[in-house]
Amino acid sequence: MTGLKLAFGTLFGSGLLPKAPGTWGSLCTLPLIYGVWLLSPVYGIPALVLVASILSLWSSPAAVQKYGDDPPQFVMDEAAGQALVFAATSFTYGIAGNLTWLLVGFILFRIFDILKPLGIDRLQKLHGNFGILADDLLAGVYALASLEFIKLISTPLL
């Protein structure tokens, strides 16, 4: 069971890639986000956020036991936060537009997740598996709000 938890927690090895595992985990989540939206435009991404959050809470103790507190190899929390960025997005901009918004949302999430402004750093200090997940979800909320604002002011330009 520990092996399964580590497989999910590292997002099937993306968290084990060298340099910036959180970035790799977020990047590897983007095709899943888009695919889930294609399958279920209304419920797909919120369901993905929920499933990734549950998997994060379930698998993080195994990662902590193997790698230490809030291990960088554990990226299921990034998957949940990255998916949350797109919870309000309707990918109806054509392939170029959809890829653009995926890239912008990815960049916004990584900025909030790395810099940890506006209380994100305080959530990361919470102990246990909820602390590992909470900062990424808040980074996702801020990135979601930023993405929607950018879409609002730039949509006439696209």
pLDDT digits (tens, 9 = 90+) for 118-127: 999 999 888 8
* Mean pLDDT along residues 55-73: 94
Residue 79 pLDDT greater than 70, yes or no: yes
Q: Are 48 and 38 in contact (CB under 8 A)?
A: no
pLDDT of residue 93: 86
More confident residue, 127 or 33: 33
* Mean pLDDT along residues 70-94: 94
Q: Under 8 Å CB-to-CB from 123, ≥6 apart: which residues?
A: 131, 134, 135, 138
Query: What band does 69 get if pLDDT is binned at 50, 70 and 90?
Result: confident
How far is residue 81's CA from residue 109's CA, in Å, rounded to a whole number?
8
**pLDDT over 70 for what percent of the chain?**
97
The pair of three-digit structure tokens given for residue 93, joined into one six-digit string: 């901009």
pTM for this predicted structure: 0.94
Query: Across all residues in the chain, what is the average pLDDT?
Result: 94
pLDDT of residue 127: 81
pLDDT of residue 26: 98
